[in-house]
Amino acid sequence: MGLPMNASSRLKIESISAPGYEKVLYGENESSGMKAIISVHNTNLGPACGGIRLLPYKNRAEALEDVLRLSRGMSYKSSLAGIGFGGGKSVIIADPKDKSPELFRDFAEFVNCFEGSYICAKDMNIGSADLKLVKKHTKHILGIDGEPGSGGDPSPVTARGTIRALEATWEQLKGTRKLAGIKVALQGIGYVGYPVAAEIVKSGGKVWVTDTDPKALEKAKRELGATVVGLEEIYDVDCDVFSPCARGAILSSETIPRLKCKAVVGCANNQLKEVEDGWSLHRRGILYAPDYAANSGGIINVFVEYEGNYQEARALQMADHIYDTMTEIYKRSKQSGQPTFVIADVLAEERMTKRR
């Protein structure tokens, strides 16, 4: 493939064929060590926005599999969030210890090859200092903490949306969205999980928590009256809702049979290890809030920044609509008998077909 006109001659660019995706490019520069893949899945609703993930992938094939999965997921997440973003993602094939200004310079110029159809943001192993290096060479970037007009830390908005998803779920189970009396087992009480737990307790509910950070557990016990359990014990808690708020792929053939809950609602990404695990929850009668519907507060926060004149109040207000989206998913699932994760995909696809 020929070099795009606005790309630096330092970069070697290669087009990758990926059916169902609008544009996937591989870019590298041997001198800086920059090797990356950017995937734009869909731009029907707006420019593709998604974070930069930096990992020492075993090989290019593994990186490609990850970026395709993630960019498609961002299309669906943004669609369900009702915002004017499509789905994209970028992965840099590198060890975090090998970061350099030159690497991020070349990555920024790689982003420029997409001429605004892809907008990058923060993801795994990428901090605000890294984003600032990228911003020196591209304007197609959002979500830098401390920058004028930035949305900053999206955790409060993500937590707000997760609570709205929980309310919609509780209404399906109990006929009310008021969380008084609810019992929730939270796996992970970090930047999003903790405020979710705090809101549950404030509303009159009870929480059981686990985390790898002893200080976070002690804080939850002291300030929220939370019951602390072990990392594995969390799956066995007799509760109303199991809430994954840490790592992904934790709902599996090993863990699902252990769950003693009526529903699963959390802010973690990619909670289902396999598609079959969504069906397993459905067969067990466990109501599942599809993760990319429940946790879309982060991308909503970035979109409000993209609109200009960022206001947290507007981002929080937009996150409140997650309640309506979840209610629609549950309604359609009940009517059709299909699992909620299937219905969420259908609803996202319907919205993606409506062009700006």
The catalytic site residues sit at: 89
Burial class of residue 50, CB neighbours in 10 A (0-12, 13-18, 19+): buried
Sheet hosting strand 23-29, strand order edge to edge: 12-15, 23-29, 34-42, 86-93, 48-55, 118-122
The pairing of beta strand 227-228 with beta strand 23-29: unpaired
Task: For Cα atoms 19, 23, 25, give the angle at the middle one, nearest 5 degrees.
Answer: 110
Contact in structure between 6 and 76 (CB atoms under 8 Å): no
Q: d(Cα 133, Cα 34) in Å, to the nearest integer?
A: 14
Question: What is the largest distance, in Å, between two alpha-carbon atoms of the chain?
Answer: 62
Residue given tokens 């029907």 in the structure block: 44
Q: E strand or H helix at 351, and its extent?
A: helix 340-352
In sequence order, what DSSP letters do the residues of 11-39 get, joined into one string? Answer: -EEEE---TT-SEEEEEEETTTTEEEEEE
338: tokens are 């299909």
In 3-state terms the chain splits into helix, strand, coil percentages (rounded to 5) of 45, 20, 40
Question: Could you tell me which of 44, 47, 112 has the C-alpha nearest to residue 306?
Answer: 47
Q: E strand or H helix at 111, and its extent?
A: helix 101-112
In sequence order, what DSSP letters do the residues of 155-191 get, joined into one string? Answer: HHHHHHHHHHHHHHHHHHHHS----TT-EEEEE--ST
Distances in Å between the Cα of 21 and the Cα atoms of 14, 42, 88, 100, 205 are: 15, 7, 10, 30, 44
